[in-house]
Structure 1
Amino acid sequence: MDLLEQLSLGTILADGAMGTMLHARGVGFDKCFDELNLTNPAAVADIHREYIEAGAQLIITNTFGANRYKLKKHGFEDDVTEINRAGVELAKRAVAASFKNIFVAGDVGPLGVRIAPYGRVKPEEARAAFAEQVKALADAGADLIVIETMSDLYEIQEAIKASKQTCDLPVVASVTFTRDDRTLLGDEPMKVARTLRDAGADVIGVNCSGGPSQLLRILKQMKHAVLDGKFWVKPNAGWPEQVGGRIMYPADPEYFGDYALAFREAGASIVGGCCGTTPLHITAMKKAFETAPVFVAESISILAEDEMLDEPAEQPTQLAQKLSAGKFSICVEMDPPRGLSTHKLLAGASLLYDAGADVINVADSPMARMRMSAWAVCDLVQRKIGVETTLHFPTRGRNLLRVQGDLLAAHALGIRNVFVVMGDPTSIGDYPEATDNYDLVPSGLIKLIKQGFNTGVDHSGTSIGQPTNFFVGAALNLCPQDMDNEVKNLHRKIKAGADFFLTQPIYRVDDGPKLIEAYEAKHGKLDKPILAGILPLVSGKHANFLHHEVPGVFIPDEARERIESAGEGGAKVGVELAVELIQNIKSWASGIYIMPQFHRYDMVAEIIEAVK
């Protein structure tokens, strides 16, 4: 039987990693593994024999990088045909010695260069390089061609074309995915499966990537996209880790044995292992197949779409989860630096995180003053401190193009919490002559994010490839001069999709209940979490300035008198006042949003520790 006839009878078992096994024999990763077909054929043949003895019904030649571009890096570009022919001959001799019917797959990997439109290598040049390798493999007697570990759909389509034009062997086309279940260029599994089918692949594959769990999820999506397709699955033994200078893979053989059955039941025609797997993994998979009931391909039942796609690409943010669980949350605002140095900012963020802050909020050009990009600061804080951030996202100064581009950039950096706000007018800042035009008001931007980006489309309704996962906050004034207008704005933001609200600073316990009662009298229960703004007072002068000169801030006489009478101990009293206020608002507030004054992060840390 040829391969496709065999697959009609049921799932077959492929081999595991070649590179992992060669490296275990002392071959460095800087060496040309493919050239060992000529200089150390015994090592390659031994690995083939081990996989055959483990139970593999299909083995792959040691030719993954045997194309003219990759071989050129080692000075072997003139040996393409010889290296590929030797690779097939070694595998076929190992099969002959076993007296078993085993398929030999000619292995074709990526060229190692970018092709147009993402590189300078023209499609026809890539196709010629693939054709050169495929011809050598087919002429040497390979039973099928395996094109594997591809991340660029343009490149793999050229490889499939080259194979179909050069020989009449069955073609397996296999793609690798990143941690977010997308290719390196952002293509999702269902699109990949359809593209490979349309390009003429006989078997659609997924290999390398993460461990078995991820590839089972991807296989289900691919199977859903191409219901009558045949599928190849070869996962890594988990995500690799560097331990003591060695690359280690966590998934053991027994774990692979369990997943072999899951792959088969999900519709895989060929199952094996990729990086980190060994003959022990293949033995475990064989044992699993032998001890489980025989499974015929025709009996596979396709899972319903909601069952197949029921695993979300991302979990809700930590802030979203905490607020949903009704846990009191603590957010702290920080301003980006005005220059290049981020040392003080990161030190402050570390202090706040250690004290118990749940989220660091990063303001964007506060008071319309030039500062470092808020996205960059969010990225730095999340990577270096390990605490989740909320990006302040003003609409002022951004047109529709920039708004949407900035949102995509933030999402690509791993930022998921955004606080939508109008922003300060440029007239009050460093550059009063700068334009501050905008296309969207905050409620419009909230709608764009929640009803557009989070569903996978932009403002025009065009697909952005995959939905974003933003958790969106909006501004709320708990002590407005016009209560009716504030209630109207609040309702508009809720209808647009706002997930939570951050308020301006308050100093009176009853500010929140007054606005909540006014809202509920008109629109029913307010079921969105409110994080009350807390701006710690530092001195009597500071308190008087805020009370008399900052619109919307009302500080009770008693509080101003206490801090004024404290003299040099004003900061201590400021902490006490903040802690007392926080304890008294917990009946209606879901959390607090602390705004440090004069970079007094020590005061904020003291407040957090007191209310935790």
Structure 2
Amino acid sequence: MQEIRETFFDLLKSSPKPILADGAMGTVLHSHGVGFNQCFDELNLTNPALVGETHRAYIEAGSQIIYANTFSANRYKLADHGLEDKVAEINKAGVELARRVVAASFRSVLVAGDVGPLGVRLAPYGRVQIEDAKAAFTEQIAALCEAGVDLLVIETFGDLYEIREAVIAAREFCDMPIVASATFTQDDRTVLGDTPAKVAQALHKAGADIIGANCSGGPAQLFRILGQMKQAVPDTRFVVKPNAGWPEQIGGRVMYSAGPDYFGEYTQSFVNLGVSILGGCCGTTPEHIAQMRIALDREVSPVSQENLQIQIPSLDIDQIVPEQPTQLAQKFAAGEFVISVEMDPPRGLAPHKIIAGASTLKEAGADVINVADSPRASMRMSPWAVCELIQRDVGIETTLHFPTRGRNLLRVQGDLLASHALGIRNVFVVMGDPTSIGDYPEAMDDYDLVPSGLMKLIAQRFNQGVDHAGSDIGQPTSFFVGCALNLMPKNQEREIKVLRRKIANGANFALTQPVYKPEKALKFLKHYEDQFGKLEIPLLVGILPLYGTRHAAFLHNEVPGIVIPGEIRQRIERAGDNAPKEGVRIASELAEEIKEWGQGIYIMPAFGRYDLAVEIVDAVKK
């Protein structure tokens, strides 16, 4: 093994450019009809021709290292398919198959033994003890080494504890070259919250020869992460294998957005960063690798260490790179007309209807779903759960309504952390309805913060990485904060004063009360502009489709801030049984007017009639 080790590092030293590895195995196998519920590793035994053809395609594309099809061939993951007794057989078959393909290619290509996570949680966060995990890794590594791999690749780990044990197991068992690679979430941390710098330091200390990142997002994210790793451990070698972007569910299929040309263009950036091994992960194909090969084969000027220091982001190793803005923020910045729809959480346990409604709204073209919190002080499912379900199952961004009423300072901060942990970034801060009007009039109605104070807490404390008391919360949050606005208030000066305070405290956008008289709303905005200049934040203007005569009368007479002109109420009355359809027509007309001056609309369908909201979305999208 010492000879193998020396040969590998001689190759690294003699190569002026990164060694090109392969791309995704699972993506290609799946494209040939292998279901995600099948055991990909078992194909080494049951369909070696398909696996071999995938290896051959990557070699012909220019790969100098191919990963044996053994990523999940450990006793825990194989047990899910009743194959736990075939660990050695499957791993050896994977290596031998890769060896045969390399021999047939008549090219100098290395074969890596691929070791992935066990698929179980290790103590102290799970039931599997460290010694049991170590034994499982050793069992797989022993089979790979016996089969004759050139190096070991330990990749796609999100748990620093687990990948460290895998590296230690490999180092204790053999002197084989070890490549260790972690995966990161969208906030540039592992699933357990570790920074790239901490991961790099831990893997280097554990004995990995080459460290880095794979999977995660696309090339841009991994370039950023590798920069932090290099700052933390500058005197080691690095590997990078990015996904072809973040996966999306489209028509029941998993799709990736980054194409081969994009990977080819990014190759030079990784060369300049000084990586030793370069390849692709989920979503990448032989076409991606071929474009990277073309880019590597171009004449590239040597990059001096001095130049590398300039090109690597100047970051303290514990500094966190901010997340990308939310999709809502990006749409506002791009000047797009945004369509948001409000949905109420279910009263019981079943979220199926709201998920179905959100799916339909997304298909129609809605940009974001607003999830209310206990509207009219009625008992409903927590909106954080609903937001998370919609974002996960439907794939559309949400905005969480976050009332201050009924929350003390401890609960406010805890709930914010919970929201962020669930991936919720858009937060609409409001006072909330008094409990006296709802299901539990005797319930506590106190609060420690008014909405403008909560906006200040979020924007000037949490988004800076500290809590209300100034204590570190681990990393800055990345909330995009919305505030409420009445465009037709009885007291304009007071409404403007409150709005100015909200903006100063950190409000990023505003949701308005329903507007039925656009010309009056424009007068309010003109009055604001005359005093302070054009409104600094984008507006999502409220659209509440009327459902019938009684509904219109209730809103006009009993809901503060809503004024419905007589002619609109008359239209609803004349429509009779067709009032809901007339309400949609009126709402669509209003939306067209708002397009001239608003940054979007905020549809509030009454009585859960999301089908009517869809009609409005359709009309706006025409």
TM-score, normalised relative to structure 2: 0.75
Q: Secondary structure at the match of 1:231?
A: strand
Q: Please, which moves more after superposition, 150-159 or 87-96?
A: 87-96
Provide the rounded CA distance (Å) in 2 between the counterparts of 1:48 and 1:369: 59
Percent same amino acid at aligned positions? 60
Q: 1:534 touches 1:594 (CA, 8 Å); kept in 2?
A: yes
Aligned to 1:430: 439
Give 1:549 deviation, angstroms: 4.5
Match of 2:324 among 294, 314, 321: 314
Where do residues 347-496 of structure 1 align in structure 2 (5 Å cutoff)? 359-378=368-387, 389-411=398-420, 415-461=424-470, 467-478=476-487, 480=489, 485-496=494-505
1:527 is aligned to 2:536: yes
Provide the rounded CA distance (Å) in 2 between the counterparts of 1:254 and 1:583: 40
Match of 1:115 among 97, 117, 122: 122
Provide the rounded CA distance (Å) in 2 between the counterparts of 1:507 and 1:147: 61
Q: In the alignment, residue 223 of structure 1 is paired with which amino acid? A: K
Q: Secondary structure at the match of 1:430?
A: coil
Question: Does the C-alpha gap of structure 1 residues 403 and 242 become closer, same or farther in structure 2, counting only changes over 3 Å?
Answer: closer
1:269 is aligned to 2:279: no
Q: Please, which moves more after superposition, 187-196 or 246-255?
A: 246-255
Question: Does the C-alpha gap of structure 1 residues 58 and 436 become closer, same or farther in structure 2, counting only changes over 3 Å?
Answer: same
Provide the rounded CA distance (Å) in 2 between the counterparts of 1:389 and 1:41: 45
Larger Rg: 1
Q: Secondary structure at the match of 2:308?
A: coil
Q: 2:188 touches 2:321 (CA, 8 Å); kept in 1?
A: no
Give 1:434 deviation, angstroms: 1.7
1:16 is aligned to 2:37: no
Give 1:532 deviation, angstroms: 4.7
Q: 1:14 touches 1:57 (CA, 8 Å); kept in 2?
A: yes
Q: Please, which moves more after superposition, 189-198 or 379-388?
A: 379-388
Q: Secondary structure at the match of 1:392?
A: strand
Question: Does the C-alpha gap of structure 1 residues 98 and 378 become closer, same or farther in structure 2, counting only changes over 3 Å?
Answer: closer
Q: In the alignment, residue 122 of structure 1 is paired with which amino acid? A: Q
1:192 is aligned to 2:199: yes
TM-score, normalised relative to structure 1: 0.76
Question: Does the C-alpha gap of structure 1 residues 555 and 85 become closer, same or farther in structure 2, counting only changes over 3 Å?
Answer: closer
1:501 is aligned to 2:510: yes
Provide the rounded CA distance (Å) in 1 between the counterparts of 2:558 and 2:340: 26
1:176 is aligned to 2:183: yes
Aligned to 2:237: 230
Q: Secondary structure at the match of 2:536?
A: coil
Q: Secondary structure at the match of 1:301?
A: helix
Give 1:412 deviation, angstroms: 5.3
Q: In the alignment, residue 451 of structure 1 is paired with which amino acid? A: Q
Gaps of 5+ in 2: 1-5
Q: Secondary structure at the match of 2:401?
A: strand
Provide the rounded CA distance (Å) in 2 between the counterparts of 1:146 and 1:306: 29
Q: 2:44 touches 2:97 (CA, 8 Å); kept in 1?
A: no
Match of 2:210 among 196, 203, 219: 203
Q: Secondary structure at the match of 2:455?
A: helix
Aligned to 1:305: 313
Question: Does the C-alpha gap of structure 1 residues 396 and 172 become closer, same or farther in structure 2, counting only changes over 3 Å?
Answer: same
Give 1:498 deviation, angstroms: 0.9
Match of 2:165 among 158, 175, 186: 158
Give 1:611 deviation, angstroms: 7.7
Question: Does the C-alpha gap of structure 1 residues 330 and 201 become closer, same or farther in structure 2, counting only changes over 3 Å?
Answer: closer
Provide the rounded CA distance (Å) in 2 between the counterparts of 1:413 and 1:513: 38
Aligned to 2:3: none
Gaps of 5+ in 1: none
Where do residues 331-342 of structure 1 align in structure 2 (5 Å cutoff)? 331-339=340-348
Q: In the alignment, residue 110 of structure 1 is paired with which amino acid? A: P
1:512-545 per-position Cα deviation (integer Å, ceiling 9, x unaligned): 4675577667766642334454556667766665
Aligned residues: 609
Q: 1:149 touches 1:176 (CA, 8 Å); kept in 2?
A: yes
Where do residues 555-574 of structure 1 align in structure 2 (5 Å cutoff)? 568=576, 571=579
Q: Could you say what the CA RMSD is over the residues aligned between the two structures, in angstroms?
A: 5.4
Give 1:203 deviation, angstroms: 0.9
Provide the rounded CA distance (Å) in 1 between the counterparts of 2:548 and 2:255: 57
Q: 1:533 touches 1:593 (CA, 8 Å); kept in 2?
A: yes
Question: Does the C-alpha gap of structure 1 residues 164 and 589 become closer, same or farther in structure 2, counting only changes over 3 Å?
Answer: closer
Q: 1:11 touches 1:271 (CA, 8 Å); kept in 2?
A: no
Question: Does the C-alpha gap of structure 1 residues 146 and 300 become closer, same or farther in structure 2, counting only changes over 3 Å?
Answer: farther
Question: Does the C-alpha gap of structure 1 residues 139 and 470 become closer, same or farther in structure 2, counting only changes over 3 Å?
Answer: same
Q: Secondary structure at the match of 1:268?
A: coil
Provide the rounded CA distance (Å) in 1 between the counterparts of 2:589 and 2:248: 48
